[in-house]
Amino acid sequence: MSCLVMGIVNVTPDSFSDGGRFLAADAAIAHGLELRAQGAHLLDVGGESTRPGAERVDAAVERDRVVPVVRALAQAGAVVSIDTMNASTALAALEAGARIVNDVSGGLADPGMLSAVAGTDAEIVVQHWRGPSADMYARAAYDDIVEDVATELARRIDAALSAGIPAGRIIVDPGIGFGKKGAQNWAVLHGMPRLAALGHRVLVGTSRKRFLTETLEARGGEATVDRRDLATAVTSVLAAQSGAWAVRVHDVAATVDALDVAMQWESGATWTS
């Protein structure tokens, strides 16, 4: 089992988990460096919240937020991903040193995104997405959710290939929590082998999301950040065991520890005296 950890750096005032804490560039840079020191292999910098109900942010505002952070982290040697649905922001971040574009819309929000990335040497994450965060749950109707997600992701892969992005630079993300309610997310996670069968690296992001809160609070008590981070670490290990290439998390230290323990567990199968 080998799985990378992508640390989340939200340069936003309204993200559902840590909104506002790292809006200032200096705070975001320091947070990114701390996540890297804790073991993050990748840093995902975003300047627009995609929480349920979030409204879009002007691309110029988004660029002002993220570009200084991307530049500083890249100059410090971090592998930086830019979390954006705007082609102009993606290109500005790549010029500042980012190496991956993480588009939660899979290229649907900005028709110029895929061709823009094709003109660079960057990798791209295409996520399963059915519409804007403002009303994402209105589209949470599926016949067979695992097969539907796989089919819709395959269409985004085809679109990326048609735009000129080589297959080896395409990463897929099932979009946990995006246009999916409660148990639907568990079904997608359980169906990870079907997503891996698409033939591309799979990024999984469960960190602190609503479906974890609902699961934890069903047993009673508040789903505090600590409880959600523990649940995130567990789902991250299970995703890694199911073939995930990377997991996207807020609490890097806990996830790195959990993955290390899981790897040691697996190493026991090959131990000899």
b/e for 215-240, b at 16 or more Cβ within 10 A?
A: bbeeeeeebeeebbbbbbbbbbbbbb
Q: Is 180 one of the catalytic residues?
A: no
Residue labelled with tokens 């804007």: 132
- Residue 65 · residue 12 · CB < 8 Å: yes
Beta bridge partners of 100: 81, 123
Marked catalytic residue, from 36, 65, 99, 248: 248
Helices (H) and strands (E) in the chain, counts: 10, 8
> 24 in helix, strand or coil?
coil
Of 152, 59, 156, 45, nearest to 100 by C-alpha is 45
Marked catalytic residue, from 209, 210, 219, 227: 209
How many angstroms separate the first and last alpha carbons of the chain? 22
HEC letters along 50-111: CCCCCCCCCHHHHHHHHHHHHHHHHHCCCCEEEECCCHHHHHHHHHCCCCEEEECCCCCCCC
Active site residues: 209, 248
